[in-house]
Amino acid sequence: MKIVPRDKSSLKGNRKVLTRQTKGDKFRVSSFKGYYSMYDKDWAKVDINKVPSIKTVVPGPKSKEYHDRASKYMKGYSNQVKLFPVAFESGKGSVLTDVDGNDYIDFSSGIYVTGLGHCHPKISEAIAHYAGQLMNCHDFTTKIKMELLEKLAEVTQGDLNGIQLYDSGTTAVEAGLRCARAATGNFEFISFWRDFHGKTMGSVSLAMVDSSQGMRAPGFYQAPRPNCYRCPFKMTHPECNCYCVDFIENVILNETSQQLAAIVLEPVQGWNGSVVPPDDYMPKLRVLCDKYGILLFADEVLTGMARTGKMFCMEHWDTIPDITTIGKGFGNGFPVTAMCVSDKFKDVIENISASSSYGGNPMACAAALASLEVIEDENLCERSEHLGNIMLKRMEKIKNNHPIVGDVRGKGCLLAIELVKDKTTKEPFEEAGKLVYRKAFEKGLAWVPSRSTLRLSPPLIMDDDMALKGLDIIDEAIGEVEKELL
């Protein structure tokens, strides 16, 4: 990438993208923090005939060596790594390369993180600029933080203008819980079966609790959420009239002490496999919250930043929460997250000891601001929606052609394939899930398993042909597994 000095008399702070009219419009020129970053607008394109490229048995010998050495000390790897312990060396756009020189199509985006592609030139340059200028000054104001806050307030829904910055999704969620308690004077929360909100005490209590952790913290309650493929009430939508919202009212009246601070949920479930609620669910949930004076807390750490085809997933249902949390794709891989609170309650942030050691550091702010600009400049909400449409169409064909594919679903680039032993009984097929994951990875597809559900989260910048080629690999892997197991 070439950096050229900024002519201060030209744009006067306007960061709109300009296209250089040279060499066939090959370059994208973007003004960012005092300089122009100029990069090839086709920086992420690859020859689809050359990717994936598997040169060794995978995981290869170097991957095995590195993982064996590291795993002597590091414990608690994700199932993704346990099932396929490859060691990666580099990434560019939608392609990952391991230490043995094998190239993979990336259907994971890290873990829903690098939605703008690995090492996007504008974001890498923005981080590098501040890495050489100012890394951290606690929560003092910097110009780049000011610009990020203004931009974030511009793109968030409604009046979510009370902002605090953090370095992890779970930290932002914990702050949101404290903020909800301070705003309402109440202390209880309702969350939902199989949602995921983080790995610290409060966020774990919102989600699943395993036997090693014991009971969830007092004041945390759970309710079923809509999963129309596996309705917990054995009903059918729309005839059910979203009974799951009525059931939440029963939880409020019969399980809690009716001192609820907030109802907390993922707009679309991520960890549980891209479970999308029916379109009338969120508006009805908003009405229920308003009826009882409960805050609606949308955890958009996974679903935000154009992942589902909108900047924020809640926009799909024209429903504005009182609190939202942002992360993962916010910095395209750099650890930066945010809690955003409605103007009505934002002053209570002063009362919850909101600051953090790393939140809002200049490198993080630069990464987040550059990411927001890339999403807008490259029309990536529209791109995500388009990719989701063509992928779901192809996934429907896969479902129709395979007896073990029970359901395919998602929004934008947040997708899933659920495997079952029988399409009538819908019994989960976890063994098949592990095998399909491994076989597709061996063929050059890096992606994310979740028991019997296979999760697909390609970068939003991925070309159509590469996305469809990745699905061809999955199709082939499913066929091979069916021959082995059926």
Per-residue pLDDT of the chain (486 residues; tens, 9 = 90+): 433 333 333 333 333 443 333 445 566 656 555 544 678 889 999 999 999 999 999 999 999 999 999 999 999 999 999 999 999 999 999 999 999 999 999 999 999 999 999 999 999 999 999 999 999 999 999 999 999 999 999 999 999 999 999 999 999 999 999 999 999 999 999 999 999 999 888 998 998 666 566 778 899 999 999 999 999 999 999 999 999 999 999 999 999 999 999 999 999 999 999 999 999 999 999 999 999 999 999 999 999 999 999 999 999 999 999 999 999 999 999 999 999 999 999 999 999 999 999 999 999 999 999 999 999 999 999 999 999 999 999 999 999 999 999 999 999 999 999 999 999 999 999 999 999 999 999 999 999 988 999 999 999 999 999 999 999 999 999 999 999 999
Contacts of 170 (CB under 8 A, 6+ apart): 197, 198, 199, 200, 203
Return the pLDDT at 215: 79
Say what the pLDDT of residue 213 is: 67
335 preceded by a cis bond (ω within 30 of 0): no
Residue 410 φ then ψ, to 5°: 140, 180
Give CA–CA dist 156/315, Å, rounded. 10
Residue 15 confidence (pLDDT): 39
Cα 76 from chain centroid? 21
125-377 CATH pick, 3.30.70.1560, 3.20.20.70, 3.10.20.30, 3.40.640.10: 3.40.640.10
Q: Which CATH class is domain 51-106+380-485?
A: alpha beta
Q: Can you say whether the dihedral through the CA atoms of 329, 334, 335, 341 is positive or negative?
A: negative
Burial profile 327-340: b = 16 or more Cβ within 10 angstroms, e = fewer: bbbbbbbbbbbbbb
Domain with CATH 3.90.1150.10 in the chain: 51-106+380-485
Tell me, what's the pLDDT at 208? 66
Contact 332, 123 (CB under 8 A): yes
Spatial separation of the C-alpha atoms in residues 239 and 128, rounded to whole Å:
55
What separation, in Å, do the N-terminal and C-terminal C-alpha atoms of the chain show? 52
State the Cα–Cα distance between residues 453 and 441, nearest whole angstrom: 15
CA atoms in the 13 A half-sphere facing the CB of 48: 10
Residue 384 confidence (pLDDT) = 98
